[in-house]
Structures are given as structure tokens and as C-alpha cells.
Structure 1
Amino acid sequence: MKVFTAFFCTFAISFLLCESPVTEGKTLHFGACRLFVHFHDLKENFADIKHTIVSIPVLLSIRRVLRVEGPRNSKFGDSCCFLRHLLKFYVEKVFKQYPTVDGNIRTKTSSLANSFLSIKTELRKCHERNMCQCGEESRQKIEAILHAYKNMDVNAAATKAIGELDILLEWMEKYH
């Protein structure tokens, strides 16, 4: 009986751990650079703030770059560098300029920023080990995004960029 109880407890704990959102992550491959990302946390935080996003008709080029030009195109070889700069853009500009007075939304935004900062740090390490090459393509794409962002009202641009996080998360998860 004790053996059965011990076996059952071990099985139950193993099952609960396997079902835990903490284990929901993926190893992303950006060339030679590999990193583990907990998409469950990112998606959950984004879902909590997505309903507060006001639709802005001005097209910010993050959507265009990630949907049309880059992610499905296997020639996009410097995606590691592109992602590192894109996450830097989100951490240093978008999350800081996102206009919200709701404390819960600010907490979720802060969690996303911290997650992005962690991923960016790992990508920077890959870059330092020459595993993450930066080329003209990533430079041009980042410049296009920064240009579009600077030409919009600060609050509108930050809100639009936050609203396009689902595109970025999908790109990261499905194509790398």
C-alpha cells in the first residue's frame, strides 16, 4: 500500500508539473543562437492589456516588417540582430511611453518589459560570441520602424506598438 501511495504521489506531482504554465516555453533558434522563452507568461500579460488598446488607424511598420517582409522569408538571416534591436526599442521607448493610468495594466506592461529585457540580454550574449550577426537587412528594418514611430504622436505610437505585440510574439514563436 505504501508503494502504491508513493507511486501515486510521484505521478500526481509529475503530472501537475507537466501541466504547469511554467513549463510552457520554447527554445528559439536564431541562427546559432538559441534561447528558451516562456511564451505563456508573455501571452498572458499581453492578453491582459490587449483589451485596453485603442484602435489606431495609422500603420506602424512593425506589422508590415513582421508580416510581409521578414519572418516567413528564409533569407532573413540576421533575425537575431533584428530581434535584439526590436526588443531594445520596446524596452527603451514603447513600454516607457505607453500611456496608462491603470496600475494593473502598468504592472503587466512592466512584466512584459522585464521579459523582453531578459531575452534581449541573452541575444546580446549571442552577439558577443559572434553567434548573432548584424547585417544591412536588420539595420534597414529597424530604421523603418524607428522612422515610423518618430513620425507619430508619442502616445499613439506607443499604443500602436503595444497593440502589435501579438505579431511579434507569433513571429518569435512560430518562425524561430
Structure 2
Amino acid sequence: MGKSRATRRGKQLPGAARAEARAEADRPPPSGCESCSPEAASFTGWAADVHPCVQDMKVQGVPLWLLGITFVLCSGHLRGLRRCPISMDMRHLQESFQDIQRAIQANDTFQNITILSALDSLQGIKPLDVCCVTRSLLAFYMDRVFKDHQEPDPHILRRISSIANSFLYMQKTVQQCQVQGRCHCREEATNVTQIIHNNYNQLEARVAAVKSLGELNVFLAWISENYQDGSAA
């Protein structure tokens, strides 16, 4: 009799295990993810602690590997939106230029032509493109304008050299941001800098250099606007 009951109990165990498994499967997911599968719900709980970008995602029926890839891409995009910090004494830069601005502009023989001054699109640069445009314009002045300009006045030359040294420092900082993936160049930013180069190419190199130096206040004002308090977009 005892042996028969033990046998029946042994046969009942697999059925009980299956019933418990079914109950576990039918158990509703945690709050905040009522429509998720238990597997996806557990991922949502983890993602909620990691990044708000993933919190808004609907994970029903989405494989975990796809959510993981989306999270990585989302994080990378947000890193690209971080500002590229540039610590620079803009007041000193502007004072250095103002000291020589009138003398340089007096040598500009084509007053009816502009390279930067009429570039309204420079003011419409989006925060995501600021780093790229900054890098391109710094290279424009360092690689073209300062090299093409021939200045006989020692005082003006010293001021230009001081500005060039400051630009070189900013170049190194922006290059570090580029290495870190925070200085992407989109089509809008590329188009703006290409317009500046096209305007420059329409003039003889020395003439274009003088005009670009005379319009340096446009670039300095734009830098001050986008890099206030040592920050950058």
C-alpha cells in the first residue's frame, strides 16, 4: 500500500513541475511593461537604469540584440551632441584684431566683394555642426589666409602671429574632439565652408588674404557666440 502511494506521488511530480512552469509563464510582467514578454521586460528594467533613450522604446517582439544595437547607436549620437570645450580668451583675440583691423581694411582694394561678411548661412549653423565649421574655418585661416598674406609692418605682423598662435591652440583642441567622435561634418557644414573657399578663390591670393583678414571679426564674433564660457557646440 505504501509502495503504491509512493509510486503515485512519483508520477505526480512531473505534472506538478509542468503546472508550475505554466504558471510562471502566465505570470504578468513587471509594472511599466505590461505588453512586454518576460524576457523583454527584464531588459526594459535594465535599460531604464542606463539611458533615457532606451526607455521610450517599445520592446514588444523586438530581439534583445536589436535593442542592444539601438542603445549603442543612440548613445553614440548623444556623444556627438556633446559640446567640444575650447578654453580661449576671446577678449584678447578681439582686442588684438581691433588693433590692426583699420590698417588691414585700408589695404582692401575690393570693398564691394566679401568672403565671410555676407555669409548669412554662418549664423544659421546648427549646434551639431559648430565643431566641424570651427575646424574648417581655423584650417582656412591657418593654411590659406595667414600663409598668403605678406605683411611689411612689424606691429601688424606681431598681432597676426599672436592670433595665429591662438588659432593653432584651438585647432589642437578641436582635433582632439574629432578623434573622440564629437566633431562630425554633415553636408550643411561642408557647404558653408565650401562657399567661403569659393569666394576666396575668385580673387588673387594676396588680395583674398587681405580681405579675409579684414573680415576676421566675423569669425571671431561667431566663435564668441558659440563658445561662450569655454564651451562649444
TM range, smaller chain: 0.7 to 0.9
Check the 8 A contact 1:32/1:132 in 2, yes or no: no
Q: Which whole-Å CA distance do the structure 2 matches of 1:78 and 1:153 have between them?
A: 30
Match of 2:203, SS state, is coil
Q: Give identity over the alignment, percent.
A: 30
Check the 8 A contact 1:76/1:137 in 2, yes or no: no
Q: Which whole-Å CA distance do the structure 1 matches of 2:159 and 2:219 have between them?
A: 17
Does residue 32 (structure 1) correspond to residue 83 (structure 2)? The answer is yes
Does residue 79 (structure 1) correspond to residue 130 (structure 2)? The answer is yes
2:111 is aligned to 57
Q: Which whole-Å CA distance do the structure 2 matches of 1:70 and 1:77 have between them?
A: 13
1:81–1:126: structure 2 CA closer, same or farther, 3 Å change rule?
Answer: same
CA deviations on 1:74-94 (whole Å, 9 max, x unpaired) are 635312111111011101110
Q: Which whole-Å CA distance do the structure 2 matches of 1:74 and 1:109 have between them?
A: 27
Given the alignment, which residue of 44, 47, 64 partners 2:95? 44
CA displacement at 1:34 relative to structure 2: 1.2
Match of 1:134, SS state, is coil
CA displacement at 1:58 relative to structure 2: 4.0
Q: CA RMSD in A?
A: 1.8
1:135 is aligned to 186
CA deviations on 1:13-35 (whole Å, 9 max, x unpaired) are xxxxxxxxxxxxxxxxx842111
1:69 is aligned to 121
Does residue 101 (structure 1) correspond to residue 152 (structure 2)? The answer is yes
User: Alignment length, in residue pairs?
Assistant: 144
CA displacement at 1:124 relative to structure 2: 0.8
- Which structure has more relative contact order (CA 8 Å, sep 6+)? It is 1
- Unpaired segments of 5 or more residues in structure 1? 1-29
CA displacement at 1:62 relative to structure 2: 1.6
Check the 8 A contact 2:130/2:226 in 1, yes or no: no
Give the TM-score normalised by the residue count of structure 2.
0.58
Check the 8 A contact 1:50/1:163 in 2, yes or no: yes
1:157 is aligned to 208
In our comparison, the structure showing a higher alpha carbon Rg is 2
| 2:121 partner amino acid | E
| 2:203 partner amino acid | M
1:107–1:32: structure 2 CA closer, same or farther, 3 Å change rule?
Answer: same
Give the TM-score normalised by the residue count of structure 1.
0.75
Match of 2:167, SS state, is helix
- Unpaired segments of 5 or more residues in structure 2? 1-80, 228-233
| 1:125 partner amino acid | Q
Runs of 4 or more above 3 Å deviation: none
Q: Which whole-Å CA distance do the structure 2 matches of 1:31 and 1:141 have between them?
A: 21
Q: Which whole-Å CA distance do the structure 2 matches of 1:151 and 1:84 have between them?
A: 22
Match of 1:57, SS state, is coil
